[in-house]
Chains A and B, each alone.
Chain A
Amino acid sequence: MITSFPKLLGATVVTLKLLSLSLFFGLFIGLLFAILRLNKNKIINKFAYGYSYVFRGTPLLVQIFIIYFGLGQIEYFRSTFLWVVFKEPYWCAIIAFALNTGAYTSEILRSAFQTIKPGFIEAGKSLGISNKIIFYKIQIPIAIRQSLPAYGNEIILMMKGTSLASTVTLMDLTGVAKYIISTTFKPIEVFIVAGGIYLFMTFIIHNSIKFLEKKYGYQ
């Protein structure tokens, strides 16, 4: 139990890297698709809805497998410069995670944008503020505050999702835990240590979101 701890702690770094990179890219994807969802053009709207429907309706495991095993099959794709990125399991996992969390984030942000009272935007307009500044200075700050609790849940779900990176040969926390279990046959001890690390991360994420909620809350 004690000997496995440093190994698992080392693997936690991989998990955290995967998590932060996919959240970073996912946030941009989510924001983009949330804006597309609110677009009045029906085709753009449907496209954004389809994206989030497909990524939320299929298991993350399928998405990773399609990107990692599937895309490599296309001959043409292998000759493009993108292949440098897609041949690495590490980047494939991050792309899959980012697309997945992007779909959920877009839904969270969309509903946050929709709950903004029209009065705020009208007030901005009547003060003669340009649309761009209304968007950046009024809509985005309110939307961020509205979506914090839901986004906190999404971060925790994504942290659990990074465990799937172990299925494409990456040695993250779950990958290393599985390796130790299958070599030592001590599933319960390893589960307690690895699960404890995950729980600790959940605890930290949960509390920092609570802190942010308080800081940016209405009170």
Chain B
Amino acid sequence: MELLAFGKTGWGDELFIATLMTIAVSITAMLIGFLFALIFTPLKLSKNKFFNLIANSYTTVIRGVPELLVIYLFFFGGSGAVMFVASIFGYNEYIEINAFITGSFAIGIISGAYSTEVFRGAIQSIDKGQFEASQVLGLKRFVYFFRVIMPQMLRLAIPNLSNVWQITLKDTSLISVTGLVEIMRQSYIAAGSTRDPLFFYSFAAVLYLLLTFLSMKLINRLEIKYSRGF
């Protein structure tokens, strides 16, 4: 237990901050994923073949290629790409991107592919009559999407989104290869300096279990909230 003491003697505070970092990266990545899903779900459902192709290749490629490879692409290629874009605007200095941004972007793109599939499935399983009824009632597009389709979609999507959240949370452990100090990286540092890898990695596993357990509890509440009336 000495090893977990807070302050200079133990690793308690470091691991606590690392846990907060893991949560921060997961939430950021999940939100970036939603942003991608917001773009690609309409493309996937559109009748235009070209849009379909774009959205399908996004989800197929991301879901068929290992997460680690995507992270390496962003880690090694990220600053190069940003520098290239900056050079077009006449900025030629070296730009280093923060590991947090690269990491959450890489994980966000992965999580976005899964979210897109979830939203697509949820929208497709809404009864066609609902769309037709809103049209007959003359509801504005905006109202009909946010007040009719959205609530029904969320009810169907939340159980699957909770799976996406779990995947995203576990994927953040892979960002440790880029040097961002989250749970895995901090355990690696602690294990290296105390020569006690068994303890620290097991503790990391416990932290992850705790995170998944607590988030499941929260999501269950959301699920109950959105399935009112069913």
On whether the beta carbons of B209 and A54 are closer than 8 Å, the reply is: yes
- Of A69-77, A80-88, A115-123, the one touching chain B: A69-77
A36 to chain B, nearest CB (A): 20
Residue in contact with A187 in the complex, picked from B64, B73, B201, B212, CB distance below 8 Å: B73
On whether the beta carbons of B202 and A164 are closer than 8 Å, the reply is: no
The answer to whether the Cβ of A127 comes within 8 Å of any Cβ in the partner chain is: no
Query: B residues 179-213 with Cβ under 8 Å of A?
Result: 184, 187-188, 191, 195-198, 201-202, 204-205, 208-209, 212-213
Select from chain B the residue with minimum beta-carbon distance to A203.
B64
In the complex where A69-B191, A185-B76, A199-B60 touch, is A58 in contact with B69 (Cβ < 8 A)? no
Per-residue contact bits, chain B 150-163, to A (CB 8 Å; 1 contact, 0 not): 00000000000000
Selected A-B contacts with CB under 8 Å, 30 pairs: A54-B205, A57-B208, A57-B212, A58-B208, A59-B174, A59-B208, A60-B170, A62-B201, A65-B184, A65-B187, A65-B188, A69-B197, A69-B198, A70-B197, A73-B196, A161-B66, A163-B68, A163-B69, A164-B68, A167-B68, A177-B69, A178-B72, A185-B80, A187-B77, A187-B80, A191-B72, A191-B77, A194-B69, A198-B66, A199-B60
A18 to chain B, nearest CB (A): 12
On whether the beta carbons of B170 and A199 are closer than 8 Å, the reply is: no
On whether the beta carbons of A65 and B68 are closer than 8 Å, the reply is: no
On whether the beta carbons of B64 and A198 are closer than 8 Å, the reply is: yes
Q: Beyond A57-B208, A62-B201, A62-B205: 18 further Cβ-contacts under 8 Å?
A: A54-B209, A59-B173, A59-B174, A61-B184, A65-B187, A65-B201, A66-B201, A69-B198, A71-B198, A72-B197, A162-B66, A174-B66, A174-B72, A185-B76, A187-B76, A194-B69, A198-B65, A199-B64
Residue in contact with A181 in the complex, picked from B72, B198, B208, CB distance below 8 Å: B72
Select from chain A the residue with minimum beta-carbon distance to B69.
A174
A149–B28 Cα distance when bound, in Å, is 32
B residues adjacent to A (C-beta < 8 A): 60-61, 63-69, 72-73, 76-77, 80, 166, 170-171, 173-174, 176-177, 184, 187-188, 191, 195-198, 201-202, 204-205, 208-209, 212-213
A residues adjacent to B (C-beta < 8 A): 53-54, 57-63, 65-66, 69-74, 156, 159-164, 166-167, 174, 177-178, 181-182, 185, 187-188, 191, 194-195, 198-199, 202-203
On whether the beta carbons of B198 and A61 are closer than 8 Å, the reply is: no
In the complex where A61-B173, A195-B61 touch, is A70 in contact with B72 (Cβ < 8 A)? no
Select from chain B the residue with minimum beta-carbon distance to A172.
B66
How many pairs of A and B residues are in contact by the CB < 8 Å rule? 113
Interface of A is mostly: helix
A10–B53 Cα distance when bound, in Å, is 31
A65–B173 Cα distance when bound, in Å, is 12
Residue in contact with A163 in the complex, picked from B66, B188, B195, B202, CB distance below 8 Å: B66
A143–B176 Cα distance when bound, in Å, is 39
Select from chain A the residue with minimum beta-carbon distance to B72.
A178
Inside 8 A of A181's CB, which chain B residues have their CB? 72, 76
